[in-house]
Amino acid sequence: MAIEKNIKKNVCEERSCSSHVLKIQSDLSTPLHLHDLWAYRELFFFLIWRDLKIRYKQTVLGVLWVILQPICTMLVFSLFFGKFAHLPSDGQIYPVFVLTALLPWLFFSNGLTTAGNSLVGDGNLIKKVYFPRIFIPLAKVFGGLVDFAIGLFLLIAIALFYGIFPTTRWLLIPFELIFILAATTGISIFFATLNVLFRDVKHILPFLVQIWLFVSPVVYPPSLIPEQGRLLYALNPMVGVIECFRWIILGTTTLTLGMLCVSLIMTVVIFVASLLYFNSIEEHFADVV
């Protein structure tokens, strides 16, 4: 009996019980469980690791797909939009022009489609275990960074092949990454949350992404848009994202400063709004998912 009491005392002291005080209240102590984001950071990486492992395990193509997707798309687009349709390409060689846009585009489209259904797909986790829920769609978006990195190597190889060399502008790539992440995260979280309430959002998403492809300057430059419409066009955050990346890699762009500002502001607005939206619906997740 005395020994047990001793053990109990030791457990308490060793773990310094009072340092781990968990308060459960009807409202969150910090929005989005910010205080828990750091504590659970390891789980975030585990979730990303899980998605990557699963992708590679399921198919042989899984590993190759990372390269095949941008290459095949580039070839098809170059043939049909570049060669047959004669779409302009800002004076650049069309394949390079389109591949530069494809990297951020694929990051966005893959991130949006996988994150869109993530909260419902991992509903089991939400109902049985606690961790900051934002990690679920966030892990899907951040998982795309691996694909982006591999795609970048591919882009460098193809650019070199066409005689385009890296310049000091390329040092701005990390800032571009922040831009892409902010835009993708904001939009993905909005749709992930919406999907919890309306289950057909996951069916609407592929269609939406298809349309979005044409509303973004992937296969054509922004100069194709009539001048009066350009600022409106820039409300699409991907306009700023893609053209910034083109400017960094290739040095040319038809993006104006005004358009860039519009895209940046839209990105920030969507990012903040979607996080607020997520936060307000989050308490219902376990009951609805």
Partner 1 sequence: MDNDVAIVAEGISKKYKIGAKQLASPTMRDLIADACIAPFKKIKSAIKGEHAVISGLEKTLWALQEISFEVKVGEVLGIVGHNGSGKSTLLKILSKITRPTHGQATLYGRLGSLLEVGTGFHPDLTGRENIFLNGAILGMKRKEIIRQFDEIVAFAEIDQFIDTPVKFYSSGMYIRLAFAVAAHLEPEILIVDEVLAVGDSRFQKKCLGKMENIAKQGRTVLFVSHNLPSVRNFCSKALLLQEGRLIAHGPTDAVLKEYLQSTTSFSAIKTWSPHECPSNGSFRFLSIRLLDTLQQEISSVHLSEDATIEIEYEVVKEGVHVGFSLILFDIDGNCIFSSPNNHEPHYYGKPLKSGIYRSKCCIHGDLLNEGRYTATIVGFCANRSDSITLDRIISFEAVDDGVLKGDFYGKFGGIVRPKLLWKTERKG
User: Which residues touch 184 (CB under 8 Å, ≥6 apart)?
Assistant: 107, 108, 111, 112, 141, 144
Between CA 121 and CA 15 the distance in angstroms is: 36
* Site residues, partner 1 (CB under 8 A): 4, 7-12, 15, 17-18, 20-28, 40, 42-43, 46, 50, 53-54, 57-58, 124-131, 194, 197-201, 204, 277, 280-281, 283-284, 286-288
Q: Identify which of 126, 155, 139, 136 has the alpha carbon closest to the alpha carbon of residue 67.
A: 155
For 154, other C-beta atoms within 10 Å of its C-beta total: 17
Between CA 120 and CA 197 the distance in angstroms is: 10
Q: How far is the CB of 56 from partner 1 (least distance, A)?
A: 10
Between CA 6 and CA 12 the distance in angstroms is: 10
Q: Of 200 and 227, which has the nearer Cβ to partner 1?
A: 200
- Residue 235 has which token pair? 């409300």
Q: Of 94 and 190, which has the nearer Cβ to partner 1?
A: 190
Q: Of 227 and 287, which has the nearer Cβ to partner 1?
A: 287
Q: Of 5 and 86, which has the nearer Cβ to partner 1?
A: 5
Q: How far is the CB of 271 from partner 1 (least distance, A)?
A: 18
Q: Of 117 and 254, which has the nearer Cβ to partner 1?
A: 117
Residue 164 and residue 254 in contact, taking contact as beta carbons nearer than 8 Å: no
Between CA 94 and CA 74 the distance in angstroms is: 9
Q: How far is the CB of 18 from partner 1 (least distance, A)?
A: 6
Q: How far is the CB of 50 from partner 1 (least distance, A)?
A: 6
Question: Computed from CA positions of residues 220, 221, 223, 227, in that sequence, does the dihedral angle turn out positive or negative?
Answer: positive
Q: How far is the CB of 149 from partner 1 (least distance, A)?
A: 23
Q: How far is the CB of 202 from partner 1 (least distance, A)?
A: 11
- Residue 199 has which token pair? 């289950």
Q: Of 156 and 204, which has the nearer Cβ to partner 1?
A: 204
Q: How far is the CB of 262 from partner 1 (least distance, A)?
A: 25
Q: Of 52 and 260, which has the nearer Cβ to partner 1?
A: 52
Q: Identify which of 215, 176, 191, 147 has the alpha carbon closest to the alpha carbon of residue 281.
A: 191
Residue 288 and residue 196 in contact, taking contact as beta carbons nearer than 8 Å: yes
Residue 190 and residue 281 in contact, taking contact as beta carbons nearer than 8 Å: no
